[in-house]
Structure 1
Amino acid sequence: MAILPLYQAPHYAEQVTDWLWQAFGEGLSREFFHSIVEHSQTPGALPLTFIALEGEQLLGTVGLWRCDLITRQDLFPWLAALYVDEAARGKGLAGQLQQHVIAYAAQSGYEELHLWSACRDFYERYGWQYIGDGLEYPNTRVHLYRYSLCASAGDATE
């Protein structure tokens, strides 16, 4: 299995667009998600989309975005749009995709990552810290998480 930037295999962009639209697109157009994917394929810039492949089989995707919650533009950057194909679920791929973005963000010099989720008790398993609730447009309460990328994160202090 390999995780790579979508710009290295852009022929998967339409499938990634469809996945994101189907998973996260309630009330939004497919064109909206197409625009996100299209503009997340510039090497060294944000946003970025990563994909997981087993041979030629697309298994999942995840993004590293500037902003994923319009009401919390003070937080930056974001792990966003994590999706694993149903056939690949239950095998730890969600954790591997998260770790890939975490490593990339740390190498890029960021000190922390953020994400939001409508559910609880999933991301905590991977070391994310719940930091409170936020508001997704237009009026949906979501849970906010932070992941520290500092070398000393998790070290005991006295």
Structure 2
Amino acid sequence: MKEYKYVTLRQQPELKDRAAEWFHCKWGVPQEAYLECMELYLDNETEYGWYLCFDEDRIIGGLGVIENDFHDRKDLAANVCAVYTEEEYRCKGVAGHLLDMVVDDLKSKAITPIYLLTDHTGFYERYGWEFLCLVQGNDEPEMSRMYIHR
């Protein structure tokens, strides 16, 4: 089985611009928004971090943690966001490893519970996440699923 490399942005801060561009390409959120969050993390102004997976030199997966992932439940923080795995690397444990990594990292910093907004069903439960409630996403016509990891 192929070994992938998992890092936090603090472990490799030189990846900031590349990571921000990668997340922007996946989600369409302005690159500057990612850079702003990443800089707060790298400057130790927040423990809400950024986590990446590499296959050699290629970013193949990643996720971040922010205060609120564009929804109306401002009381639910911190939020895992921008969870993405390149299509050809799906079903190989990449997202699960990243999710476990972020849960362990935040728990070690006494940040618990954490939340995740998604339209997926059945995926996050495999990694210890529980459905919490429906929330209204910003500018979204339909309600979305909010998960919690305690």
TM value normalised by structure 2: 0.81
The within-5 A match list for 1:74-153 is 74-140=75-141, 141-148=143-150
Q: 1:66 — aligned with what?
A: 67
The within-5 A match list for 1:13-28 is 13-25=16-28, 28=29
Q: After superposition, what is the alpha-carbon deviation per residue over 1:97-126, rounded to whole angstroms, capped at 9, x for unaligned?
A: 000001011111123111000222221222
Q: Secondary structure at the match of 2:120?
A: coil
Q: After superposition, what is the alpha-carbon deviation per residue over 1:46-87, rounded to whole angstroms, capped at 9, x for unaligned?
A: 331111234433221111222223411101212221122233
The structural deviation recorded for 1:139 is 2.8
Q: Specify the structure having the higher radius of gyration (Cα).
A: 1
- Contact 1:7–1:43 under 8 Å retained in 2: no
Distance 1:70 1:78 in 2: 10
Distance 2:30 2:59 in 1: 23
Distance 1:136 1:125 in 2: 24
- Contact 2:40–2:46 under 8 Å retained in 1: no
- Contact 1:16–1:37 under 8 Å retained in 2: no
The structural deviation recorded for 1:44 is 7.3
Cα RMSD (Å) of the superposition? Answer: 2.2
User: What's the % identity of the aligned pairs?
Assistant: 22
The structural deviation recorded for 1:21 is 2.1
Q: How has the CA–CA distance of structure 1 residues 139 and 57 changed in structure 2, closer, same or farther, with 3 Å as cutoff? A: closer
- Contact 1:113–1:146 under 8 Å retained in 2: yes
TM value normalised by structure 1: 0.78
Task: List runs of 5+ in structure 1 lacking aligned partners.
Answer: 149-158
Q: How has the CA–CA distance of structure 1 residues 84 and 40 changed in structure 2, closer, same or farther, with 3 Å as cutoff? A: farther
